């Protein structure tokens, strides 16, 4: 890729040709490790000098190969991810790390492992509650992951290198949060579409290169004069994965998306791994407790024997309240990928929560195909009219 | 006349009838008890994990998944589905979950906690708490969490570790699963004690655990007898008899005696060479949830010589494991629960079937029960019972040359399963089964 490009234009270039950098790295002798989900602890991959690469799908590519093993009424994100893999689009991968973040991911992992022959394939089981015994189990899972990854890489994972990797990834989280700070002004200094490109670029690069890119982007954006236009609506999008600019542009045609609470936005960067004498313990805690995805079962008080709905909502969605206030959000869109059960079950409760905060909101379902964009646009426009 | 013919098509087990009657009687008794004010819990099928705890505490449990099937069969489900959709739950969610959510909405929002008068079989009263489970699908814990919109009932989500086939053999892995299971169950006991205001009777739990394990061992042995030709017991008897073992419905001592009677009857049939259908031409495996409302479809197939000799992994007893030396009942329960999945892992690894517990069992069944074909029943709104079926079908063909026939249905939209169409597709499938019989012979497979 062209070295002349920097900052946002470089992010855009990587977004459009995601695998180019890892292919170069592979040619230079690096090994590339695929992962499909924000729950895979990338720090361990980085620390063993492997390059993590998020395996995404392609909205524009009709699913054909994945039909061999997954039914059509199944998470379209997982279907397209697997489809791309089976079509050889990730032929540079040396291995794949999958995780039980939801049932479709677990099922897809089985098929993925059976139908491909990467030199390395590992599945991390993940509990659904955030109880102490679940955390302990998850820590055991990460220690197993460490063992197999060490065997594959032929290196020992020392505490020092893992801590250094945690620091780099935490740095990336901080930088992404700082980038989101720049969506606070009106108009925002960076658009939701640009952030999708940046985040996807980060998922395609070694962490150090990603951090350099982010630092560049920060200085560019802070002083830019060609930022997004001010629109009447300042939106929060909440959903599982929003990793495609075509989708984001549907929202941004008539609104500023100032917060993307999804795996293509801030979700994997909103918190960070705390320092802990055993870094794996810190990682287990971060990945199980700190990433707020619908897949986890959360309660206000663990094992509560009295329940109040308002308190329940607060424990599940409370993190959104501060965001809404600080980013001065005036509309929320719950974007649901069809057949995604963990997020679909949240919809009415999250609506209750938004209603309680007095935030206009709507729920829109689509199937992650290019054909879904036109109806999506109609729904978004209808919603924007109600809030203007 | 049709009724008489149906009776003859499948030679049903006599011993199934008292077992079934017991389950029905227990159900009615518990409805009466709940109507009289005894606290009830809504539970998810959890594979011998949380249920023995509730059983030992003498708590009535209703299973909304099962109730969803009843609501569908009696025609009241639609109004609940509509209500759940109107409340904002997406239509593509599990049909049973939508039925329950709509039911809860009607009961709590409209009727102020009264059981809806149209609810079949006495309805489900407002629960004291909810016991959800992470096993099998995401719906089964997210759905109960969503019920918080309608009722202030605390939820306990039971963990269900799901290892990968290779990963399971990493040193210490199984022990860590046990450790999680025991600690989790122990916290669950404390939660239940707090909820009902009573302490656990540990001797009773010990006895309950042992009975549960023994019932399921006998039940497993009954099914092992079905490997012989002709198969002495049809899947219809399996489905009728399973609730006592799977949900611990009814008095456990009674159930044990009744399963023992069933063993004797099936063994008698084996000894006398009596099959479950008059002429067994084809032996089949069925996956997963049967079309509950159209079970007579199997009678039609029986008339064509189709015997269903093994079925539904999700309902089967675990492969027996000796737990007699495990003194702590919580650990015994945990190990028994883990065995439901883990019992298949050793073999799955040897056969290099990485599809995990959902896929490997069907290969085992087809091979050991010597099946000519598989009838797969994907369900539009229960993805968990459907997702693995294409993979199962590929594996059966690739490894065993056993063909599959896939017939779509649904758990709430009962019209989707059309017995006439299904029968029309069954006939040509016989030729396919014949063809692959020859192929298996050529490949050196022994059936
Ligand atoms: S969380 Fe939803 S969108 Fe993401 S993989 Fe799971 S089912 Fe698919
Ligand atoms: S999706 Fe299927 S397995 Fe899951 S709760 Fe619904 S009916 Fe049960």
pLDDT digits (tens, 9 = 90+) for A324-376: 999 999 999 999 999 999 999 999 999 999 999 999 999 999 999 999 999 99
For residues A64 and A81, give the distance between their C-alpha atoms in angstroms, rounded to a whole number: 12
For ligand 2, pick from B70, B72, B137, B160 the residue to mutate: most ligand atoms within 8 Å of CB.
B137
> ipTM of this complex > 0.90?
yes
Which residues from chain B sit within 8 angstroms of residue A119, using beta carbons? none
CB contact under 8 Å between A351 and B88, yes or no, is yes
pLDDT at B120: 94
Please give the share of chain A, as a percent, with pLDDT higher than 90: 98
pTM value is: 0.96
For residues B71 and B68, give the distance between their C-alpha atoms in angstroms, rounded to a whole number: 5
Which residues from chain B sit within 8 angstroms of residue A335, using beta carbons? none
Q: How far is the CA of B383 from the centre of ligand 2 (A)?
A: 7
- Residue range B159-174: mean pLDDT, rounded: 96
Give Cβ neighbours of residue B203 (< 8 Å, ≥ 6 apart).
none
How many CA within 13 A on the CB side of residue B363?
Answer: 27
The phi, psi pair for A68, rounded to 5°, reads -60, -30
Ligand showing the shortest atom-to-Cα distance for residue B411: 2
Beta strands of A36-72 (E only): which ranges?
50-54
From first CA to last CA, the distance across chain B in angstroms is 36
Task: Identify the DSSP state of B291.
Answer: -
For residues A196 and A368, give the distance between their C-alpha atoms in angstroms, rounded to a whole number: 15
Q: For chain A, what is the mean pLDDT?
A: 96
H-helix segments, chain A: 7-16, 20-27, 42-47, 76-86, 103-115, 132-153, 159-181, 192-202, 207-222, 245-252, 279-285, 309-317, 319-326, 341-344, 347-357, 373-387
Residue-wise pLDDT tens digits, B413-438: 888 899 999 999 999 999 999 999 99
Note whether residue B111 is domain-resident.
yes
How far, in whole angstroms, is CA B100 from its chain's centroid?
A: 19
Please give the share of chain B, as a percent, with pLDDT higher than 90: 87
- Residue range B219-232: mean pLDDT, rounded: 98
The binding-site residues of ligand 2, defined as CB within 6 angstroms of any ligand atom, are B 65, 94, 96-97, 136-137, 139-140, 382-385, 411
For residues A265 and A157, give the distance between their C-alpha atoms in angstroms, rounded to a whole number: 30
Query: How many Å is the maximal CA-CA distance in chain B?
Result: 67
Q: How confident is the model at residue B47 (pLDDT cuts 50, 70, 90)?
A: very high
CATH number of the domain residue A159 falls in: 3.40.50.11900
Residue-wise pLDDT tens digits, A100-131: 999 999 999 999 999 999 999 999 999 999 99
The phi, psi pair for A114, rounded to 5°, reads -75, -30
Task: Identify the DSSP state of A149.
Answer: H
Q: Inform me whether the pLDDT recorded for B5 exceeds 60.
A: no
User: For atom 2 of ligand 2, which residue has the closest CA?
Assistant: B382
pLDDT at B1: 41
Say what the alpha-carbon torsion angle B196, B199, B201, B205 is, to the nearest 10 degrees.
60
pLDDT at A3: 53
Which residues from chain A sit within 8 angstroms of residue B166, using beta carbons? 121, 123
Which residues from chain B sit within 8 angstroms of residue A121, using beta carbons? 166
- Residue range A152-178: mean pLDDT, rounded: 98
pLDDT at A108: 96
| Counted domains in chain A | 1
How many other CB atoms sit within 10 Å of the CB of residue B269?
A: 21
- Residue range B67-71: mean pLDDT, rounded: 93
pLDDT at A2: 46
* Spatial contact of B4 and B303, defined as CB atoms under 8 Å apart: no
CB contact under 8 Å between A109 and B179, yes or no, is no
| Counted domains in chain B | 1
How many other CB atoms sit within 10 Å of the CB of residue A330?
A: 18
Q: How far is the CA of A265 from the centre of ligand 1 (A)?
A: 15
For residues B447 and B437, give the distance between their C-alpha atoms in angstroms, rounded to a whole number: 7
Q: Which of A113, A307, A345 sits opposite B354 (nearest CB)?
A: A113
Residue-wise pLDDT tens digits, B336-395: 999 999 999 999 999 888 887 788 999 999 999 999 999 999 998 898 889 999 999 999
Give CA separation, A143 vs A100, A273, A296, B354, B427, in Å.
Answer: 16, 16, 21, 21, 53
Q: Who wins on pLDDT, B32 or A207? A: A207
Q: For chain B, what is the mean pLDDT?
A: 94
Residue-wise pLDDT tens digits, B167-185: 999 999 999 999 999 999 9
CB contact under 8 Å between B176 and A140, yes or no, is yes
Q: How far is the CA of A76 from the centre of ligand 1 (A)?
A: 8
Note whether residue B320 is domain-resident.
yes
Per-window interface: A 328-387 vs B, CB < 8 A: 336, 338-339, 341-342, 344-349, 351-352, 363, 365
Best mutation target, B89, B104, B132, B142, to test chain A (most A CBs within 10 A) = B142
Q: Inform me whether the pLDDT recorded for B3 exceeds 70.
A: no
For residues B81 and B86, give the distance between their C-alpha atoms in angstroms, rounded to a whole number: 9
CB environment A299-317: b (16+ within 10 A), e (fewer) = bbeebbeebeeebbbeebb
- Residue range B156-172: mean pLDDT, rounded: 97
pLDDT at B414: 87
Q: How far is the CA of B102 from the centre of ligand 2 (A)?
A: 16
Q: Inform me whether the pLDDT recorded for B245 exceeds 80.
A: yes
- Residue range A18-35: mean pLDDT, rounded: 98
pLDDT at B7: 54
Q: Inform me whether the pLDDT recorded for A175 exceeds 90.
A: yes
Where residue B74 falls (left for φ over 0; alpha for ψ -120 to 50; beta otherwise) is: alpha
Note whether residue B1 is domain-resident.
no
- Residue range B230-251: mean pLDDT, rounded: 96
Residue-wise pLDDT tens digits, A46-67: 999 999 999 999 999 999 999 9
The phi, psi pair for B94, rounded to 5°, reads -45, 125
* Spatial contact of B177 and A154, defined as CB atoms under 8 Å apart: no
pLDDT at B8: 74
| A124 three-state secondary structure | strand
Helix, strand, coil percentages for chain B (3-state, nearest 5): 55, 10, 35
Residue-wise pLDDT tens digits, A2-22: 456 899 999 999 999 999 999
Residue tagged 């102490």 (tokens): A132
Q: Inform me whether the pLDDT recorded for A294 exceeds 90.
A: yes
Atom of ligand 1 nearest to the CA of A102: 6
Write out the DSSP string of A325-363: HHTT--EEEEEEETT-HHHHTTHHHHHHHHHHHT--EEE
* Spatial contact of A190 and A221, defined as CB atoms under 8 Å apart: yes
CB contact under 8 Å between A312 and B148, yes or no, is yes
For residues A30 and A209, give the distance between their C-alpha atoms in angstroms, rounded to a whole number: 14
pLDDT at B425: 94
CB contact under 8 Å between A307 and B155, yes or no, is yes
A319 token code pair: 């993190």
User: For atom 7 of ligand 2, which residue has the closest CA?
Assistant: B382
The continuous run of DSSP H or E covering B360 comes out as helix B360-368
For residues B446 and B442, give the distance between their C-alpha atoms in angstroms, rounded to a whole number: 10
Q: How confident is the model at residue A1 (pLDDT cuts 50, 70, 90)?
A: very low
pLDDT at B24: 87
Note whether residue B3 is domain-resident.
no
Q: Which domain holds residue B408?
A: 8-442
Q: Which domain holds residue A296?
A: 1-388
Residue count of chain A, please give it.
388
Q: How far is the CA of B86 from the centre of ligand 2 (A)?
A: 21
pLDDT at B23: 86
């Amino acid at each position: 890729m062209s070295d002349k490009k920097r900052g946002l234009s470089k992010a855009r270039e990587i977004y459009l040709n995601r695998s180019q950098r890892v292919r170069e790295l592979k040619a230079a002798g690096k090994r590339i490790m695929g992962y499909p989900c924000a729950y895979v602890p990338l720090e361990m991959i980085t620390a063993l000098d492997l390059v993590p690469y998020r395996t995404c799908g392609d909205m524009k590519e009709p699913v054909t190969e994945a039909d061999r093993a997954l039914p059509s009424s199944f998470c379209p994100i997982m279907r397209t991810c697997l489809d791309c893999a089976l079509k050889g689009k990730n032929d540079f991968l040396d291995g794949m790390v999958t995780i039980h973040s939801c049932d479709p991911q677990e099922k897809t992992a089985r098929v993925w492992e059976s139908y491909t022959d990467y030199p390395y394939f590992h599945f991390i089981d993940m509990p659904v509650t955030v109880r102490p015994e679940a955390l302990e189990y998850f820590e055991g899972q990460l220690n197993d992951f460490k063992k197999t990854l060490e065997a594959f890489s032929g290196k020992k994972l020392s505490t020092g290198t893992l801590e250094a990797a945690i620091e780099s990834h935490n740095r990336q989280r901080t930088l992404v949060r700082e980038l989101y700070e720049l969506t606070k002004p009106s108009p925002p200094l960076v658009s939701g579409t640009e952030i999708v490109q940046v985040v996807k670029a980060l998922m395609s690069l070694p962490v150090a290169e990603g951090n350099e890119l982010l630092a560049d982007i920060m200085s560019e954006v802070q002083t830019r004069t060609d930022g997004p236009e001010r629109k009447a609506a300042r939106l929060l999008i909440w959903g599982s994965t929003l990793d495609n600019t075509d989708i984001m542009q549907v929202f941004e045609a008539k609104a500023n998306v100032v917060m993307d609470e999804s795996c293509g936005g801030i979700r994997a960067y909103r918190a960070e791994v705390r320092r802990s004498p055993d870094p794996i313990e810190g990682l287990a805690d971060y990945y199980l407790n700190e990433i707020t995805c619908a897949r986890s079962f959360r309660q206000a008080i663990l094992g509560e024997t009295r329940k109040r709905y308002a308190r329940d909502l607060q424990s599940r969605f409370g993190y959104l309240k501060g965001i809404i206030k600080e980013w001065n959000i005036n509309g929320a869109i719950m974007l649901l990928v069809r057949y995604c059960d963990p997020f679909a079950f949240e919809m009415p409760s999250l609506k209750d929560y938004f209603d309680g905060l007095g935030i206009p909101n709507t729920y829109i379902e689509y199937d992650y195909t290019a054909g879904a964009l036109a109806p999506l646009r109609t729904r978004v426009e209808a919603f924007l009219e109600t809030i203007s | 006349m049709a009724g008489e013919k149906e009776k003859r098509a499948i030679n049903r087990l006599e011993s199934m009838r008292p077992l079934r009657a017991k389950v029905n009687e227990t159900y009615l008794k518990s409805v009466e008890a709940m109507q009289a004010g005894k606290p009830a819990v809504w539970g998810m099928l959890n594979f011998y994990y949380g249920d023995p705890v509730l059983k030992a505490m003498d708590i009535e449990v209703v299973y909304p998944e099962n109730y969803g099937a009843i609501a569908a069969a009696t025609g009241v489900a639609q109004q609940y589905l509509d209500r759940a959709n109107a409340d904002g739950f997406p239509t593509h969610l599990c049909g049973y979950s939508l039925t329950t959510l709509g039911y809860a909405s009607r009961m709590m929002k409209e009727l102020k906690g009264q059981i809806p008068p149209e609810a079949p079989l006495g309805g489900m009263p407002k629960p004291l708490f909810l016991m959800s489970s992470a096993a099998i699908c995401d719906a089964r814990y997210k759905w109960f969490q969503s019920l918080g919109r309608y009722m202030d009932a605390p939820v306990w989500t039971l963990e269900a570790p799901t290892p990968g086939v290779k990963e399971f053999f990493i040193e210490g892995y199984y022990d860590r699963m046990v450790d999680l299971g025991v600690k989790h169950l122990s916290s669950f006991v404390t939660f239940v004690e707090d909820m009902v205001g009573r302490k656990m009777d540990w001797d009773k739990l010990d006895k309950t655990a042992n009975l549960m394990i023994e019932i399921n061992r006998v039940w497993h042995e009954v099914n092992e007898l079905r490997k012989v030709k002709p198969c002495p017991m049809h899947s219809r008897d399996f489905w009728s008899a399973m609730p006592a073992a799977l949900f611990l419905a009814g008095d456990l001592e009674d159930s044990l005696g009744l399963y023992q009677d069933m063993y004797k009857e099936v063994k008698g049939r084996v000894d006398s060479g009596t099959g479950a259908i008059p002429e067994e031409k084809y032996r089949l495996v069925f996956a997963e949830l049967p079309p509950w409302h159209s079970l007579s479809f199997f009678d039609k197939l029986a008339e064509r010589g189709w015997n269903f000799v093994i079925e539904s992994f999700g309902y089967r007893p675990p492969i027996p494991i000796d737990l007699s030396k495990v003194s702590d009942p919580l650990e015994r329960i945990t190990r028994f629960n883990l065995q439901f999945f883990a019992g298949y892992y050793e073999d799955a690894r040897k056969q290099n079937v990485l599809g995990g517990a959902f896929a490997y069992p069907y290969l085992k069944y087809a091979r050991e029960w010597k099946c000519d074909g598989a009838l797969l029943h994907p369900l539009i709104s229960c993805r968990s019972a459907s997702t693995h079926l294409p993979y199962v079908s590929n594996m059966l063909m690739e490894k065993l040359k056993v063909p599959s026939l896939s017939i779509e249905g649904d758990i709430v939209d009962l019209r989707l399963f059309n017995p006439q169409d299904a029968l029309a597709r069954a006939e040509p499938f016989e030729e396919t089964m014949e063809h692959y019989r020859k192929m298996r012979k050529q490949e050196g497979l022994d059936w």
